Structure 1
Amino acid sequence: MGTPADHLPPALSNDAINMLLQTAGIPQATAIAHPKVKAQYHSGYFLTLPHTDESCGPSELVLRVSGRHLPAIKTANEVGVMTWLSKNTTIPLPKAIAYSASTDNPISHEYTLLSRVKGVTLSDVYDSLSQEQIAHVLNQLIDFLCQLQDFPWDGIGGLVLNEQGEIRLGETVATLNIGGPYPTYIGYISAQVLKNVRLIQTHDKLAFMRDAVPRLESFVLALSAHADELNKVKLRLAHKDLHFANLVFDMSSGKITGVLDWDFSGVVPFIKWNPRRSSLWNGLDDATSFDEKQRLLELFTQRCEERGVSLLDDANYTSPLQESTQKAADFLRAIVEVSPRDQRQDLVQGWREIVLENIAQYGA
C-alpha cells in the first residue's frame, strides 16, 4: 500500500510555478526555494515576489502542492476551515491567496498558495526558550482553544466552501469513505465501525478479524439503545495536530504569529480534540521528548485551573460506556489501518483484545 511519501508530487520547475502565479494574477517570483523539512502529504516552495505596487499582497508566499493521496477533500477542508477561522476567531493564520482543490490547473496538482507568516517554527527554538516564554506560549494556546470551544456545532465533519462562498459542514479525512457530516456521535461511530467491517470482509490481511464481525455488527446495533448517554458530548472544531512544529513564533514579542496545517482539522466530538496526543509536543524526536510533553501538560492543566478554563474537563468522557465505545472504534481503526501494511504486528493482537473487551460492554 506504500506510505504517504510515495504519493508526493514530483519537483516543479520554476517555469511551471511562475505559470501558476500568472494564472492567479500574481507577478512572477524573483526567487523560489524548497523548505528543508519535507511533509508527508504535500511538497512546499517559498516564493519571493517583486516589491511593486502591482503585487497588491504579501511579498513572500508559500506554495503547498498536494500529492494524490486524498483527492479534493484535504485542500477543500483546509481552505474551508481557514476561511471560517479568519471570520470568527483571532487565531493567527496565513492568508489564503489562491487554491485549487482539483488538478485542473497549470501544475496538474491541487495546491494552496498562502502568505508566509513571519517568525520561526516554535519547535526549532523551543530549547532556547525561558520558562516565562513557555508559560506565555501555553497561555496563548489556551486563548486559541477557548475560542474554538466557545463555538458549538451541530454535526461532525470538515468545513467546505460552497459555490456562493458560504461555509458548510462536509467530509473531512476522518469521515472519508464513510460519508457525512454526521449529526450525532453514535451516527459517526456506527459509520466508522461498519466501514472497517467491510474492509475486514474483503482484505486478506484482515482475515484474522472475520470471526469478530458478528460481534461488531451487534455492537453497532446496540448503540442506538444508549443514544441519550453516548451523544452527551460537545461537538467542536479542532486542529487535531497542534504540536510546536505547526506553530510559528516571534522571538522578540514572544507571540505565536501563525498556526499552520489545518488540512486534517474538523468538527469532532470534543473527546477527540487531541486524538494522537500530539498537542504540546516539542517536535524533538529524542528520549526526553515524552517526559517534556508530560511536563508541559501539567503546566497547561495548572494554567487552565488558575484561569477557570474547562477545556480539559470538557474533553473527558461523560460515562464509562462512552469511553468503551470510543476505545473499540479507535483500536478497530488502528488494526484496519496497519495490518494491510504489515506494520505493528507485535501490537495488533493486543488491540484486537481491547476491541473485543470493550464491545462486550454491550453484550456483543
Structure 2
Amino acid sequence: MRFADAIRWFFALPDPAVDRLAMTPIQLSNDAHRRKLRTPFGRAMIRYHILLESIPHRVRALVGILWRATAGRRIWIKRADFAETEIATMRYVANHTDIPVPRVWFSFKWGNCEYIVMDRITGITLFDALRGGYLQDGNKQDMIAGQLARHMAQLRSLAPPPSSSISSVLGGPVRCPRLFQDPLYGPTAPAPLTGPFKSEATMNLQLRHLHNLETCIPVVVAAHSTAHPLVLTHNDLVPRNIMVDHAIGKVVAIIDWEYAGWFPAHWEICMMINWEEQSVGLGWRGWISRILPRHELTYAQELEADASLLKALWVPEHHA
C-alpha cells in the first residue's frame, strides 16, 4: 500500500480519483460512511459523531425535564401570533365575568416570535376526556355542560361597543381562519389578520368572496339579509380549548382566546359546527345544544348558509 493511500485509509479521506461532483448527496453520504468503517477506529469514529449529533437533543431534553420539575409545574409559556389582543381578551373576560381563564403574567418577544407567560392549567382537555372515555358518568357530563352554559351566558351578557364594527376587544383586526387566508401562508399556517369589518354586511360580502348577494342561493340570501346583534365570541370554542377536571366534573379553564372578538350572534355556532371536524365523532353536536344560549340554537339557516359557502368557495383570500 502506498503511503498516500495508507494516510487516506487511516484518516478516512476521500479518493481524489473518484469524481465526487457526479455523485448524489446520498452516494456521498454512503461513501463517507464506508470510508469511516474501513479505518482502524472506524466504528468508534461513527459512535463519536453520533454522540456529537445527539448532544443538542440531550441538552434540550434535560432542560425540558428541569423546567417541568421546577417552574414549569406552575407556568405555561405559549407562542402567540396575536399576543397583545389575546392577552387583552383574557384580561377583559377575567375582569367582567367568572369564566376561568389563564392568568397572564407578562409577554415578551424573542426573535420574530411573541410569547405569553401565564399560569399552567391543571386538568385535561374536554377532547381528551371524551376520547379517553373519562366522562361516561352522565352526572359529570351534566355538571360540565351546565358550567359551560353559564359561562356562555355570561359572555353574551357583556355589552358590545357602540359601533357596529366586527373587531377584537381592542377595536382592531381579528384573526379568524374562516374569514381570511392569505395564499402565501398555506393551509396549515396561522390565519393572518383580517378586518375590522365596519358592519356585518361587509363581513358577509367577504364570506361570499365579493359576490353580489343576488347571485347566491336562497338560503344565503336569507341569512345575509338578516341583521344579528354583536356578542363577544370565543370563535374557537371546541373540546381542545376547554380544560376540565374530569374526576369532579369541573371546567377549570377556557383557553386559546386568540380568535375572539365582537361577532354576529350566530357566528359561534357556525364555527363550532362547520369549522370543527375533529370532534364530530365525540358527540360534540349534542354538547353544543346544551352549552349555547337557546336563541343561538335557532340559527339553522345561518348555519346552512355558512356551510354552503364554505363548501362552494372555501376561505376568502381577498378583503371586502
1:157, 1:60 → 2: CA distance? 35
Partner of 1:134: 141
Deviation at 1:65, TM superposition (A): 2.1
Q: Is the 8 A contact 2:238 2:272 kept in 1?
A: no
3-state DSSP class of the match of 1:232? Answer: coil
Superposed, 1:70-149 pairs within 5 Å as 74-100=82-108, 105-126=109-130, 127-129=133-135, 130-149=137-156
2:167, 2:65 → 1: CA distance? 31
Larger radius of gyration: 2
- The one-character-per-residue Cα deviations of 1:123-179 (angstroms, maximum 9, x if unpaired) are 3233122110001010011001001111232444443xxxxxxx5221111366785
Deviation at 1:239, TM superposition (A): 1.5
Partner of 1:334: 314
Is 1:255 aligned to residue 275 of structure 2?
A: no
- How many pairs are equivalent? 237
CA separation of 1:75/1:219 partners in 2, compared to 1, >3 Å: closer, same or farther? farther
CA separation of 1:269/1:46 partners in 2, compared to 1, >3 Å: closer, same or farther? farther
Deviation at 1:314, TM superposition (A): 3.4
Partner of 2:172: 170
Q: Which runs of 5+ in 2 are unaligned?
A: 1-55, 181-191, 216-220
1:152, 1:145 → 2: CA distance? 14
Q: Is the 8 A contact 2:207 2:316 kept in 1?
A: no
- The one-character-per-residue Cα deviations of 1:202-236 (angstroms, maximum 9, x if unpaired) are xxxxxxxxxxxxxx24749xxxxx99x83531211
- The one-character-per-residue Cα deviations of 1:34-86 (angstroms, maximum 9, x if unpaired) are 9xxxxxxxxxx96832xxxxxxxx962111224xxxxx5x3233122112111
Superposed, 1:1-364 pairs within 5 Å as 32=64, 48-49=70-71, 60-66=74-80, 74-100=82-108, 105-126=109-130, 127-129=133-135, 130-153=137-160, 154-159=163-168, 168-174=170-176, 180-193=195-208, 196-197=209-210, 216-217=211-212, 219=214, 230=225, 232-278=227-273, 289-290=280-281, 292-297=283-288, 300=290, 311-317=293-299, 326=306, 329-331=309-311, 333-334=313-314
2:228, 2:165 → 1: CA distance? 11
- The one-character-per-residue Cα deviations of 1:307-334 (angstroms, maximum 9, x if unpaired) are xxxx13235349x6x7787566544551
3-state DSSP class of the match of 2:98? Answer: coil
1:170, 1:147 → 2: CA distance? 23
CA separation of 1:139/1:123 partners in 2, compared to 1, >3 Å: closer, same or farther? same
1:158, 1:315 → 2: CA distance? 23
Higher RCO (CA-CA < 8 Å; seq separation 6+): 2
Q: Is the 8 A contact 2:102 2:121 kept in 1?
A: yes
CA RMSD for the aligned pairs?
A: 4.2
- The one-character-per-residue Cα deviations of 1:245-272 (angstroms, maximum 9, x if unpaired) are 2122224442111111112222211111
State TM-score, norm by structure 1: 0.53
3-state DSSP class of the match of 2:78? Answer: strand
2:256, 2:248 → 1: CA distance? 23
Q: Is the 8 A contact 1:270 1:315 kept in 2?
A: no
2:69, 2:262 → 1: CA distance? 32
Q: Which runs of 5+ in 1 are unaligned?
A: 1-12, 18-29, 35-44, 50-57, 67-71, 160-166, 198-215, 221-225, 305-310, 338-364
3-state DSSP class of the match of 2:298? Answer: coil
